[in-house]
Amino acid sequence: MRKSAMEINWETRDLFLRMVGDFAVDRKGVYPDCSDELEDLLYLAHIHSLEPVVYYMLREQRKQLMEQKPELFQHMQRAYHSAVYMSVTQEASRTEIEETFEKASIKLVFFKGAQLRELYPVPELRTMGDMDCLIRREDRAKAHQLMIQLGYECQVDAEPVWMYNRNGIVIEMHTRVAADSLGNGVDYPTMFSDAMMHVHEENGYLCLEWEYHFCYLIYHIAKHLSSTGAGVRMIADIAAFMYRRANQMEWERVKSVLQEFQLWKTTLAVFGLCRRWFSVEVPADDTVSQQTLDDLEAYIIAGGTFGFETHDAGDIYRKKALRGGMDTTGWKYRMRLAKSYLFPPKRYLMQYFSPAEKHSWLLPVAWFCRCWTGLVRRKGHSVATIQAMTQGDAARSYREVCMLREIGL
């Protein structure tokens, strides 16, 4: 049975994090002979979508590794070449879409990974499973027609995000950059509803203003931490951001915005990991406790890119139930668990019946559509989720909720 990431010895984990940090800030690193620990190193890289980075950082050991660990080396080499090929293909697709939309007078802004990759010394190695872009809501119908004309198939139609696929190139098209709240009373979809007002041109591309994008990235990390998890790559993005852009940002204004959004404690936790893992200077002296940072480190490293190595949908519902009360047994806990699954928030239900966004009285229709989907079209998935909810590790979920509270989530 494959050992978990946290069962790998700390020297190997530290070496992996050092390589990622050196890549993120374009720092020359000197590493020991990795032959004996290459399998564990590649496992960590694989679950965090960072195999191409490790291959690149070990370029001075390639001849030695090819001789001593040929199968592992070839696996790593294939991952590297695949990443470069995918990156070039994604970039060509992005250019095609941008040119098509510009001719049609539709404002289109790529963000997240598509913008962040330019911060890295070798942008092609910042992998992306999909590319995220933002359009105005009033351009939605016209944008859809253009994507179909370009040969893309619409695979997900769930406002405010639509997913298109053409030969493995996946585009997520948003009319809002934030679609989810975090259960802390802050309406993030509304707070980030002005994204199109924070766009500028850089190197021939439209992109989000860097200060605005940074605040959004913290929200994005917080969203993933609150559900199944966020990987090392997301923290490396912040490290690269700090290295390339920190001196150009007004940090007092950024801090004020993040405090207003109730995300400053989360930011301090992310800064703490950047300092610990990557030796990156951060614009804050405050931090979270070492115990909280230790727990967050284990949560992130073990979980992989989006936490799916250790968590599933059942964990999300258990965490929601535990936020309403910290007992993990008894009828009250079971009632909260059932409520979290059967009665999700309005913004989630709108995916099943979009008119409910404008007309709240239609929410029961959206709820019925969700029930129908769960009972008929996705019955197997629903059964698996309920089993995961009820049979999962409630004690672990309790510890994670406590840790998340310490970082403001």
Cα angle value 86/88/89 (rounded, 5°): 65
Report CA-CA distances (Å) from 319 to 338, 391, 408: 12, 14, 14
Confidence of residue 328 (pLDDT cuts 50, 70, 90): low
The one-character DSSP state at 3 is P
Confidence of residue 99 (pLDDT cuts 50, 70, 90): very high
Instruction: Write phi, then psi, for 408 (nearest 5 degrees).
Output: 85, 15
Quickly count helices (H) and strands (E) in the chain: 19, 7
Q: What are the start-end ranges of the E strands in 94-191? A: 108-111, 131-135, 153-158, 161-166, 169-174
Query: Which amino acid type is present at position 155?
Result: Q
- What is the Cβ-side half-sphere exposure of residue 102, based on CA atoms within 13 angstroms? 10
Distance between CA atoms of 17 and 44, rounded to whole angstroms?
A: 9
For residue 95, count other CB atoms closer than 10 A to its CB.
Answer: 12
- Residue 114 pLDDT > 90: yes
Cis peptide before 52 (omega within 30 of 0): no
- Residue 190 pLDDT > 70: yes
DSSP track, 53-82:
HHHHHTGGGHHHHHHH-HHHHHHHHHHHHH
Distance between CA atoms of 136 and 195, rounded to whole angstroms?
A: 10
Pairing state of beta strands 153-158 and 161-166? antiparallel
Q: Which of 125, 47, 57 is nearest to 91 (CA)?
A: 125
Instruction: Write phi, then psi, for 217 (nearest 5 degrees).
Output: -60, -40
3-class SS shares of the chain: helix, strand, coil, % to 5: 65, 10, 30
Maximum Cα–Cα distance across the chain:
67
Q: Which residue has the higher pLDDT, 404 or 183?
A: 404
Which residues, listed in sequence order, are joined to residue 200 by a DSSP beta bridge?
A: 207
**Per-residue confidence (pLDDT) for residue 325, from 0 to 100:** 64
Please write the tens of the pLDDT for every residue from 249-265.
Answer: 999 999 999 999 999 99
Confidence of residue 2 (pLDDT cuts 50, 70, 90): low
Please write the tens of the pLDDT for every residue from 167-176.
Answer: 999 999 999 9
Which residues, listed in sequence order, are joined to residue 386 by a DSSP beta bridge?
A: none
**Per-residue confidence (pLDDT) for residue 326, from 0 to 100:** 61
* Domains of the chain by start residue, with CATH: 5-303 (3.30.460.40), 313-406 (no CATH)
Q: Enter the tokens of residue 148.
A: 């179909």
Q: Which of 249, 170, 174 is nearest to 215 (CA)?
A: 249
**Per-residue confidence (pLDDT) for residue 324, from 0 to 100:** 65
How many residues are listed for the chain in this entry? Answer: 409
- Residue 1 pLDDT > 60: no
Distance between CA atoms of 6 and 9, rounded to whole angstroms?
A: 8
**Per-residue confidence (pLDDT) for residue 335, from 0 to 100:** 75
Please write the tens of the pLDDT for every residue from 337-386.
Answer: 677 777 777 767 777 777 777 777 777 787 777 777 777 677 777 777 77
